[in-house]
Structure 1
Amino acid sequence: MPKADINKAGWEQSEFPILCETCLGGNPFVRMSKQEYGRSCGTCARPFTVFRWNPGQGARFKTTVICQTCAKVKNVCQTCLLDLEYGLPTQVRDTALGVQSDAPNSDINREYYAQNMESKLEGNKSALASLKTSSAGKEMLKQLARTDPYYKRNRPHICSFFAKGECKRGDECPYRHEKPVENELSHQNLQDRYHGKNDPVARKILSQNAESAGLKPPDDISVTSLFLSSLPSTSTELTIRTHVLNSLPSVQPTQLKSVVHVEKTKCAFINFRERSVAETAAQAWANGLEIDGEMVMVKWGRSRPSQPTNLASLPVAGPSSVAAVS
């Protein structure tokens, strides 16, 4: 075998990309260019076959940014990195289904991991197909899913010359003449979007869904507990703790402060150590939490009432104290 072929061992070669309907575009006769080993994958850094095409009139040219193996591992589009089934960010999907990716984030093992996953995944099979997920999470994704293509996402980028006030091309300019909006949604990292961590778009979707379900975080930031009601009669403190941690794979056991189970009223208080963790749990349980085959209702805990000042315990000012003050 030639030396060049040995160096290409483990590199990915494909005939057609894995794309969502939005990125592919509405034109059934789309023309694509193909370049073998055109770039390194944005997640595993392995060279792969790159595809480039124009999804429609007035749209910008699009290209694949991750390899097919990484796309199958997370069941996402090779271009926009959104879930192929629901059209949502991976952080939204993984939070709803209680799924945690075991893919390494470091440069040391990610190429080795991708090669092993490539041998396990056959055809277009996804790594998420065999996972057991809760019915509440699936129902939540069905409500949030984008069923129709969103071709607005294929628009040209904003003209940098227009933003500086220097573009003189007018209507002939192939880019959009709009002022860029500076917020957290305009700064997204490919790695974070793929692994479902610190994704601003996902946080916005999850927070809006939690508010619509009546789980808006209380103004009192000291509230870090959630209230579970209508628990099954077979529930115990141990089973509740187990289901809570299993539904929140990104939460460490040490971040769970305590679980107070009131067996008589079939309710429980889930106390977290940090407010951010409690908000993550509320977003994941917006459609309820499944425990022992039954759906449990979730609400935010209440603020502790401020302790009233005990006037009887205060010293009474006598004549001597008044004189000392004067």
Structure 2
Amino acid sequence: MARQGWEDSEFPIVCETCLGPNPYVRMTKQKHGKECKICGRPFTIFQWCPGAGMRNKKTECCQTCAKVKNVCQTCVLDLEFGLPTQVRDTVLQTRDDVPRSNVNREFFVASVEGQLGNDSLINYAKADSTAREQLKRISRVEPYYKRNRPHICSFYVKGECKRGDECPYRHELPIDNDLSNQNIKDRYHGKNDPVAQRILNRTDRSRTLNTPEDKSITSLFLTGIEKDISEQDLRDFFYGFGEIKSINVVQKSKVAFINYATRAAAELAVSKTFNNLNIKGRTIRVQWGKARPQGPRSDLQAGIDGSGSSSYAAPMGGPPAPPSIDDLINMPPPPPPPGQGSFSYPSQDPTALGTVGGREFRA
């Protein structure tokens, strides 16, 4: 067999997730060790272990096919956004020009191989800025090393694995769903990819948010507020839409409430940030809030947000607002259980504290 056109490379084209968190990765290299799963030509195989407790990874397609679609040689996901090619091509409105038939595929690969160099056929510089922002919102900011987990132990599924904790495979039962039917060719060409379908269904939301009829509602409800996003970060971003009355960040629940002074400012903020808000690499969802009825509050409650006005808001259609601190303080005690008089516990009886038999007890 002639070796003309066979690939001989020195380092693979892989994403950060497949490479793993270990900075001292040791790879094995085998020239012409396997044929590419896309074009069928022999290419150089690289194999490595990303880290402890992970399975070995290897390259699945040649570098020419990877450069054509700008994908990783191992997971066949986009190198820039880490998304399936079907999601990227749908958002960027590009077509899959790679032929599938043997003769046309060989001619196409031979024609583009000389002009590729270190670049790919996907030109992100010419892409629409709105489409790029949408890809950034749905992409992962950090590597997803969970993809490198070991495979499920087939002996454990049959109930015959005797290695216990020493087994290098996962002891889990497989889940039969749409994600069970994946293959590299469909992912590469962006056709019938179940992972891409899930992502597109999750992100196929309306571009506008219904405005509540109650004109007194001027608050926004934000979700996805991580610890690295402070109140000042939100104030610096949202003050450009109008005057802000108060901002309340609840780090424990990863939510925030922004109260504007006018309804026009709140509507402008919603129109600009709905499904289009990213602060410090974090995707934040914006919804309309529902203001709690105004009422007197104690100094302790007013000190939560540093203002005398009510700053709590619950999402539209969400659960009711929690009781205020005044309500908790003035809440009457529960009724005593039957047979115990007016006190639920002996320690609640002031006449019994520190006394034994009616006399004061001294240690």
- TM-score normalised by L of structure 2: 0.56
Find 2:151's aligned residue among 157, 167, 186.
Answer: 157
Cα distance in 1 for partners of 2:180, 2:99 equals: 26
Does residue 206 of structure 1 match 2:200?
yes
Task: Tell me the residue number matched to 2:15.
Answer: 20
Cα distance in 2 for partners of 1:203, 1:214 equals: 22
Helix, strand or coil for the counterpart of 1:105? coil
**Aligned positions of 1:1-326 closer than 5 A:** 7-122=2-117, 124-129=118-123, 132-211=126-205, 213=207
8 Å contact 1:98–1:133 — kept in the other structure?
Answer: no
Cα distance in 1 for partners of 2:132, 2:50 equals: 30
Cα distance in 2 for partners of 1:161, 1:105 equals: 37
Pairwise CA distance, 1:53: 0.3
Helix, strand or coil for the counterpart of 2:29? strand
**One-letter code of the match for 1:13?**
D
**One-letter code of the match for 1:148?**
E
For these two proteins, the number of residue pairs brought into alignment is 211
Cα distance in 1 for partners of 2:60, 2:180 equals: 18
Pairwise CA distance, 1:120: 1.2
Pairwise CA distance, 1:214: 6.5
> For structure 2, which runs of at least 5 residues remain unmatched after alignment?
210-274, 277-363
Pairwise CA distance, 1:146: 1.1
Q: Aligned in 2, Cα 1:9/1:207: closer, same or farther, shift over 3 Å?
A: same
Post-superposition Cα deviations, 1:246-281, rounded to whole Å, max 9, x if no partner, equal xxxxxxxxxxxxxxxxxxxxxxxxxxxxxxxxxxxx
Cα distance in 2 for partners of 1:180, 1:106 equals: 34
Helix, strand or coil for the counterpart of 1:113? helix
Q: Aligned in 2, Cα 1:65/1:31: closer, same or farther, shift over 3 Å?
A: same
**One-letter code of the match for 1:209?**
T
Post-superposition Cα deviations, 1:141-196, rounded to whole Å, max 9, x if no partner, equal 01011120111100000001111111111111110000000011121021110000
Pairwise CA distance, 1:87: 0.5
Pairwise CA distance, 1:213: 4.6
Helix, strand or coil for the counterpart of 2:6? coil
- TM-score normalised by L of structure 1: 0.62
Cα distance in 2 for partners of 1:63, 1:213 equals: 40
Identical pairs, percent: 62
Cα distance in 1 for partners of 2:137, 2:165 equals: 40
**One-letter code of the match for 1:42?**
K
Cα distance in 1 for partners of 2:104, 2:168 equals: 41
Helix, strand or coil for the counterpart of 1:108? helix
Cα distance in 2 for partners of 1:140, 1:76 equals: 19
Cα distance in 2 for partners of 1:10, 1:53 equals: 25
Helix, strand or coil for the counterpart of 2:152? coil
Task: Tell me the residue number matched to 2:318.
Answer: none
Pairwise CA distance, 1:28: 1.1
8 Å contact 1:73–1:127 — kept in the other structure?
Answer: yes
Cα distance in 1 for partners of 2:31, 2:22 equals: 24
Pairwise CA distance, 1:134: 2.0
Cα distance in 2 for partners of 1:50, 1:43 equals: 14
**One-letter code of the match for 2:201?**
S
**One-letter code of the match for 1:80?**
C
8 Å contact 1:157–1:175 — kept in the other structure?
Answer: yes
**One-letter code of the match for 1:54?**
C
Task: Tell me the residue number matched to 1:302.
Answer: none
Task: Tell me the residue number matched to 2:317.
Answer: none
> For structure 1, which runs of at least 5 residues remain unmatched after alignment?
216-285, 288-326
**One-letter code of the match for 1:204?**
R
Q: Aligned in 2, Cα 1:156/1:212: closer, same or farther, shift over 3 Å?
A: farther
**One-letter code of the match for 2:175?**
V
Cα distance in 1 for partners of 2:206, 2:45 equals: 41
Larger radius of gyration: 2
Q: Which has the higher contact order (CA 8 A, sep 6+)?
A: 1
